[in-house]
Chains A and B, each alone.
Chain A
């Protein structure tokens, strides 16, 4: 075990990942190294298919690196755990449970919380995500945006120190996505948990992040770390501010060559 780095939640140390394939193995992550500070809202930005989700899954303990290590609070990740919550892109609100039971779901895996506490906290989260009145509804009766909020609340219910989010708003329409971004920003500003959020959407990255980790096309390398010193609390108005647009131009210029490379590779049929 390495000595604990103060103020650092996640240390990613030379992580590479290869997937076996016919012929040569496919390399998706190339010696990624960076630290995620405690209570930061970090966003990994990269072209689609570059391997950024794989890194998130490795941090969650759902996948393992071919080389390198990931430390969370100086402990090497050996598998998934409740202190690292995960939100998927696909809707994972369980269809057989009501909204309330979905949110309470994680409590059955821990014995340290009293049932009354669980109920009180579930109600609090339902209020926070704006689903009061839908407690007893099954997911087949609510919209995709609402289902995703249920999934987020279920993850927050376990009170994780770190929340890993893999393009959680990717399947939503543009308007719903904006509303969800705003409510996520408000949630983070209130709870101040460490969040690592994966997206390929530059505006989304800028609006949410304290820092953006810009990844290259596959195999993904860390191209640059871009701080986002936009004011808080952030609302949708910030998206049309001068500072936002300048940052957007900067990040676009960074990402552009990789986007083109990815598109060209797709045209060649891989």
Chain B
């Protein structure tokens, strides 16, 4: 039954201030638990270092090679992701538009899509070695195949009436693709890119852990080799913040690029 108080009414919004307070306190709770376990000495610092130690590690890493590692990872993500998007977006649009293309690509794509990306890494090393090419190739394999399906699905969401309407204005089939299907699916495609970028972050770290001499994944692996737990935590925090930051930026970009979107 609906109630005056929204807090425990299903799907009812709550005041923005309250939302912020709850979100903040959940972070504080994690930090509090962490402090409780470490500062009291209940857990050995070798397994779980104190927040202060992680901050100190972060600071000394920032003096050292942190920026170089961030740069290396970002360049690999940028190259691999861009390459993937450059091929997957147009191909996905064609796949969603023409059943002939879908029939040709989708079955094979679905087969590859379910193979674990990590299992390709040994093969990739044989093909391209362990340089930047390896990370770029792993990101490409990891994002391209699911991206293709998601882009095609965005075309599927374009209402058929939009296409039929445009035919009755005298448009040809090719014109309908350019003037209706592409602009109508653009916001969804952009959102898809945001989701895929999250995956690219995972794959670059995995590839760098397996075989690399730079990058955030390498940094974490190196810290593990020298049993520097605080450095591992610092690395994980950096990766998390960068991922969250890029996601936030793309969300803002969406609002600026598509003020007409019906999502709101």
Contacts and interface: CB of A to CB of B under 8 A. Distances in A.
B159 interface: yes
Contacts of B260: 95-97, 138-140
Contacts of A85: 168-169
B103 interface: no
A102 B114 CA distance: 42
Interface string B152-194: 0000000101101111111110010001100110100000000
Contacts of B165: 86, 88, 92, 151
B161 A154 contact: no
B264 interface: yes
Contact of A90 (B159, B180, B186, B261): B159
A196 to B, nearest CB: 13
Contacts of A106: 169-170
A144 to B, nearest CB: 13
A92 to B, nearest CB: 5
A17 B75 CA distance: 59
Given A92-B159, A96-B186, A158 B169 contact: yes
B167 A80 contact: yes
B161 A90 contact: yes
A224 B161 CA distance: 30
Nearest to B263: A140
A140 B264 CA distance: 9
Contacts of B107: none
B262 interface: yes
Contact of B167 (A62, A88, A97, A108): A62
Interface in B118-165: 159, 161-162, 164-165
Given A94-B162, A95-B262, A109-B175, A80 B168 contact: yes
A105 B180 CA distance: 10
Given A88-B161, A90-B161, A96 B183 contact: yes
A214 interface: no
Nearest to B162: A92
Given A96-B184, A96-B186, A109 B169 contact: yes
Contacts of A82: 168-170
Contacts of A251: none
A44 interface: no
Interface in A76-107: 79-82, 84-86, 88, 90, 92, 94-97, 105-106
A263 B166 CA distance: 35
Interface of A is mostly: loop
A110 interface: yes
A109 B262 CA distance: 26
A158 B169 CA distance: 7
Interface in A54-93: 60-62, 79-82, 84-86, 88, 90, 92
Interface in A121-163: 138-140, 151, 154-155, 158
A110 B170 CA distance: 8
A151 B169 CA distance: 11
A147 to B, nearest CB: 11
A155 B260 CA distance: 22
B171 A109 contact: yes
Interface string B227-260: 0000000000000000000000000000000111
A164 B149 CA distance: 36
Given A108-B179, A138-B260, A92 B168 contact: no
B113 to A, nearest CB: 30
Contacts of B183: 94, 96
Contacts of B180: 94
Which interface residue of B162, B166, B168, B183 has the most chain A CB atoms within 10 A?
Answer: B168
Contacts of A61: 167-168
B224 to A, nearest CB: 49
Contacts of A80: 164, 167-168, 170
Given A94-B180, A138-B260, A84 B168 contact: yes
B261 A140 contact: yes
Contacts of A139: 260
Contacts of B167: 61-62, 79-80
21 contacts: A60-B164, A60-B168, A61-B168, A81-B168, A82-B168, A82-B169, A84-B168, A85-B168, A86-B165, A88-B164, A88-B165, A92-B162, A92-B165, A95-B262, A96-B186, A96-B260, A97-B260, A109-B175, A140-B262, A155-B169, A158-B169
